[in-house]
């Protein structure tokens, strides 16, 4: 399986949050980037040398919500493709390219690549949402929720 990848500049941007016991792994930064990207429908392709390789699975505490994250991903992908769930054959084909039921992270290699692109694009969204990098997790989470709620209200 291909690993998830986080932008190196995102790790630097989040560096102060790594002091918090609740924000310890690179997947924490990846998660916030992914949620911002998938909510805005923003993807970006980033060269491998500009990213850091992480794990090829959803680490704890994200493992329990991995199917929700994959569901958000699929919903965004189907929307980008202009597919309605009633278009069963086309939806099945699109999902088959991205999802593998027997994979530890539920994704194909192509799916991991596309998933990563939402995280990469999401970092750009975070840079638009915030004037400066976060200094405390508590403050960041409150501001992130407000920005996410506003984003979701515009998407409909």
Supply 17's token pair: 């949050």
- Mean of the pLDDT values across residues 27-47? 97
Q: End-to-end alpha-carbon separation of the chain, Å?
A: 34
Residues belonging to the chain: 156
Residue 10 CA to residue 39 CA, distance in Å, equals 18
Is the pTM for the entire model greater than 0.85? yes
Lowest mean pLDDT among 6-10, 13-17, 19-23, 96-100: 19-23
Q: Say which residues have a Cβ less than 8 Å from residue 18's Cβ, sequence separation at least 6.
A: 24
- Tens-place pLDDT, residues 91-136: 999 999 999 989 989 999 999 999 999 999 999 999 999 999 999 9
Residue 143 has pLDDT above 80, yes or no: yes
CA angle 149, 52, 59 (to 5 degrees): 60
């Amino acid at each position: 399986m291909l690993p998830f990848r986080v932008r190196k500049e995102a790790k630097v941007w989040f560096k102060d949050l790594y002091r918090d016991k609740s924000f310890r792994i690179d997947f924490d930064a990846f998660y916030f980037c992914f949620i911002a990207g998938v909510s805005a429908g923003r993807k970006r392709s980033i060269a491998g040398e500009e990213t850091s390789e992480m794990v090829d699975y959803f680490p704890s505490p994200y493992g329990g919500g991995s199917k929700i994250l994959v569901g958000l991903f699929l919903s965004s992908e189907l929307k980008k493709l202009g597919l309605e769930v009633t278009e069963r054959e086309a939806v099945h084909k699109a999902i088959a390219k991205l999802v593998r039921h027997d994979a530890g992270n539920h994704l194909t290699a192509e799916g991991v690549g596309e998933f990563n692109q939402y995280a990469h694009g999401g970092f750009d969204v975070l840079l638009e949402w915030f004037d400066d990098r976060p200094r405390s997790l508590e403050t960041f989470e409150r501001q992130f929720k407000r920005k996410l709620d506003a984003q979701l209200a515009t998407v409909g």
